[in-house]
Amino acid sequence: MESKPAIAAQHDELVNRNIGKVAMTALAGTSIEWYDFFLYGTAAALIFPAAFFPADMPPFIALIASFSTFAIGFLARPVGGIIFGHFGDTVGRKKVLVIALLIMGVATTAIGLLPTYHTIGIAAPLSLVLLRFIQGLAIGGQWGGATLLVTESAPPKKRGYYGAFAQAGAPAGVILANLAFLAVSNLLPDQEFKDWGWRIPFLASAILIGISIYVQVHLEDTAAFKALEKAKELEREMAAKTGIPTPKAPKRSPILEAIRLYPGKIMLAACAFLSIQVSFYILIAFVVAYGTSKTGLGMERNLILSAVLIGSAIQIPVQFWAASLSDKVGRKGVFIFGAILSGVMGLALFPLLGTKDFLWITVGITGGLLGMAFQYGPQAAFFTEMFSTNVRYSGASLGYQIGAILGGALAPLIATMLWETYGIIYVGAYIALASVLTLFAVFALGETKGADLNAVGATK
């Protein structure tokens, strides 16, 4: 007979092997999912104003219209969070994640096949808006599924670190999207790239379908969700044996229950997300438009994309380090440092871009992304630990996606209007303001490090 220490060692080895597989699968799935979502942002800055709007529309108005379609995806995200959150809390994290990945793959591939305004007229931008809305629904469901699949499976003392695998999908998606555009742009003449070459990166998103099938076949649902289901099953068995129904509170939708139990936490979580969202979408979408436009810096497209690419590549390891640090010193302190750094870099960003020197442009973009990394790295564990198992998918998704609307949806659009109306320095002030609001929200939230995911939030 094996000793207890030997059995415990075997158990730990099995847990570590399983969480490694879950973490890498979450990284692959979220990377391609975010690739799809961010690909749209790059195309909205470079391609869509000419491809999906009338040729006689002034360039600035076409850019505003293009960024408006970009915002539609964010408006759909809380809707996706509500729908997928309900089913994630009732039928499981894994099944809902698979559906979200499939929907995103189909919608993005369809954008790659969409006829332009020159071909089908007004139906082109309307179809683009519909597909962008579907993308938003998918990303609204994906984040909660991928994040909980990892954090609920991770050892408590490494929850921040493993949660960073799901979070790393965002900068990895930016890298993949920019690499795709850089590759196609370098391989094709400029006119061919604008005519049809831009479609190739969108069509490549069909890979998501394969990843979703892998998740369905090879991964199990999380231990926390299975424990919740087991408790419900034991209640039903006990009621059947005794003939006495178990007293229950009125059955509510998980999303309504999350709002009833945690209204304050949901809104504070949303506000804590503002700095990340505002700075991120200005850095990866607005800066590309500003840097390449004739009324902005008038620089080469590939130069700006390369700077974003370098910043995103540096962001990934820093994000993992910040998440690991949060396992040791707590989520709040790391998050607060990141918000302060984001605010400072927001004020420095446009003076650095104004040098038109590739090195200083890269420093400005990278510094902004590093501020975001210190917040985004521990965010998965931070948001997961705020809510009880029965409403965790709904509560975490709502906080995340409401923050996405308040911060990211309109960031490129507001930045464009501030630039045109008041001057580019006000865009930096906008980033700094978002950072200040995030600081207030994080200070108001409690520390969550080390929370028991089977007990946290069990009482209001």
The answer for residues whose C-beta is within 8 angstroms of residue 212's C-beta and 6 or more apart is: 29, 97, 98, 99, 101, 102, 105
Name the nearest CA neighbour of 281 among 119, 434, 389: 434
Torsion of CA 300, 303, 308, 313, to 10 degrees: 160
Q: Evaluate whether residue 170 is within a structural domain.
A: yes
Q: Evaluate whether residue 245 is within a structural domain.
A: no
* pLDDT of the residue at 4: 43
Name the nearest CA neighbour of 413 among 173, 75, 127, 70: 70
Residues in the chain: 460
Q: Evaluate whether residue 460 is within a structural domain.
A: no
Cα–Cα distance, 254 to 455 (Å, whole number): 17
38 or 418, which is more confident: 418
Q: Evaluate whether residue 451 is within a structural domain.
A: no
User: CA of 37: how far to CAs of 176, 212, 305, in Å?
Assistant: 11, 16, 16
In single-letter form, the type of residue at position 384 comes to T
Mean pLDDT, range 362-366, rounded to an integer: 95
Q: Evaluate whether residue 39 is within a structural domain.
A: yes
pLDDT over 90 percentage in the chain: 27
pLDDT band at 457 (very low <50, low <70, confident <90, very high): very low
Token pair for residue 395? 């509560």
pLDDT band at 456 (very low <50, low <70, confident <90, very high): very low
DSSP 8-state code for residue 356: -
Measured at the alpha carbon of residue 412, what is the angle toward residues 410 and 418, in degrees to the nearest 5?
A: 95
* pLDDT of the residue at 294: 79
Assess whether pLDDT exceeds 80 at residue 70: no
The tally of CA atoms less than 13 A away on the side-chain side of residue 109 is 13
Full residue range of the structural domain in which residue 26 is found? 19-220+261-444
Question: Coil, strand or helix: which one is 418?
Answer: helix
Task: Give the distance, in angstroms, between the CA of residue 326 and the centroid of all CA atoms in the same chain.
Answer: 19
How many domains does the chain contain in total? Answer: 1
In terms of average pLDDT, the best of 21-35, 227-241, 258-272, 403-417 is 258-272
CATH code of the domain covering residue 440: 1.20.1250.20
Q: Evaluate whether residue 455 is within a structural domain.
A: no
Q: Evaluate whether residue 293 is within a structural domain.
A: yes
Task: Give the distance, in angstroms, between the CA of residue 259 and the centroid of all CA atoms in the same chain.
Answer: 22
Q: Evaluate whether residue 62 is within a structural domain.
A: yes
Q: What is the mean pLDDT of the chain?
A: 81
pLDDT band at 459 (very low <50, low <70, confident <90, very high): very low
